[in-house]
């Protein structure tokens, strides 16, 4: 059966209260983090980790993700503009030519930067709580893809990070951009991340005793950034300097994460085999 193309044009702004914009992006971003923390709460109770550790983790993690994602977008994708406008990099405003400023929210967050910011935050959390860094990143890895899925749904509501033109019957026409049927790349990525989250939860429930020492962390890096790498092939380039590049910035930044993830998986397997040998 051939379906009509989906015409997509939601207003990114839900409501504006006294000049403060309430947007789908912010609600989905915060909602995703809230769900992640709830799942982590269940994991921490299961692992008998003190509840106050989760409170510290939520604070460190939120700060790390926001700073990393914002700096990642500004420095990876639009360095010339933001280095010339550093205030806009740090604050959710846009300076107006006629003077004054407009509250815009943080328009531009990069998942690669958010991942790096989270890793740095987890190092500080580990030192503060004495919770093993390998164990910490393994537990975070179980829920990481869930947060990523909500961010991509937020991108869908913003009609941003759109796919290339296609004649597939499920194509979206992003009417705020143009009238061309396109791959809903944000939806592809969100569904991929929900699937990855399901895999991670299943492995945690069934194989936790066997899979330790960075295995979950390595696996989620490989799965998330491999999905990102291949989906990028059907996305429109986000910035002009990517034109003519064989691999775009998202793909180039994904490769190191995939390699690091593979390294952690190998390390975990080797460590487990050594432990088993010592028991014999």
The per-residue pLDDT for range 103-155, each reduced to its tens digit, is 666 666 777 788 888 889 989 999 999 999 999 999 999 999 999 999 999 99
Residues of the chain short of pLDDT 50, as ranges, are 1
d(CA 202, CA 208): 10
- 3-class DSSP state of 16: strand
d(CA 191, CA 168): 17
Give domain status of residue 1, yes or no. no
Give domain status of residue 86, yes or no. yes
Q: What is the count of structural domains for the chain?
A: 1
Q: For residue 28, which phi and psi values (nearest 5 degrees)?
A: -70, -40
pLDDT in tens, 18-34: 767 788 988 998 899 89
Q: Which two tokens stand for residue 199?
A: 């895999």
Beta strands, E only, 88-221:
93-95, 101-103, 172-174, 181-182
β-bridge partners, 8: 174
No. of H helices and E strands in the chain?
9, 7
Give domain status of residue 217, yes or no. yes
**DSSP-assigned letter for residue 126:** H
**DSSP-assigned letter for residue 163:** B
d(CA 137, CA 219): 11
d(CA 225, CA 234): 15
d(CA 173, CA 209): 47
Name 17's Cβ contacts closer than 8 Å, sequence gap at least 6.
none
Give domain status of residue 122, yes or no. yes
Neighbours of 102 (CB within 10 A): 11
Nearest Cα residue to 212 out of 279, 121, 133: 133
Cβ atoms of residues 189 and 231 within 8 Å: yes
Domain carrying residue 79: 6-279
Q: What is the pLDDT of residue 260?
A: 96
Name 2's Cβ contacts closer than 8 Å, sequence gap at least 6.
169
Q: What is the pLDDT of residue 1?
A: 44
Give domain status of residue 88, yes or no. yes
């Amino acid at each position: 059966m051939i379906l009509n193309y989906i015409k997509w044009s939601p207003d990114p702004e839900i409501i504006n209260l006294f000049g403060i914009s309430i947007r789908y992006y912010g609600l989905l971003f915060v909602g995703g983090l809230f769900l992640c923390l709830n799942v982590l709460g269940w994991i921490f109770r299961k692992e008998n980790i003190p509840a106050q550790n989760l409170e510290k983790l939520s604070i460190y993690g939120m700060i790390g993700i926001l700073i990393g994602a914002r700096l990642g977008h500004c420095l990876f994708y639009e360095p010339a503009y933001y280095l010339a406008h550093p205030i806009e990099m740090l604050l959710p405003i846009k300076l107006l030519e006629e003077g004054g400023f407009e509250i815009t929210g943080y328009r531009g967050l990069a998942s690669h930067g958010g991942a790096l910011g989270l890793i740095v935050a987890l190092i500080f959390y580990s030192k503060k709580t004495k919770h093993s860094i390998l164990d910490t990143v393994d537990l975070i890895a179980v829920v990481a893809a869930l947060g990523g899925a909500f961010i991509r749904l937020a991108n869908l509501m913003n009609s941003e990070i759109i796919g290339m033109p296609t004649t597939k019957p499920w194509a979206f026409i992003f009417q705020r951009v143009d009238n061309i049927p396109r791959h809903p790349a944000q939806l592809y990525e969100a569904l991929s991340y929900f699937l990855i989250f399901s895999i991670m939860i299943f492995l945690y429930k069934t194989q936790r005793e066997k899979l330790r020492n960075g295995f979950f962390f390595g696996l989620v890096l490989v799965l998330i950034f491999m999905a990102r790498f291949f989906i990028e092939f059907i996305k429109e380039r986000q910035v002009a300097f990517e034109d003519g590049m064989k691999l775009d910035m998202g793909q180039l930044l994904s490769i190191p994460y995939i390699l690091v993830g593979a390294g952690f998986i190998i390390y975990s397997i080797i460590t487990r085999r050594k432990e088993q040998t010592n028991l014999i």
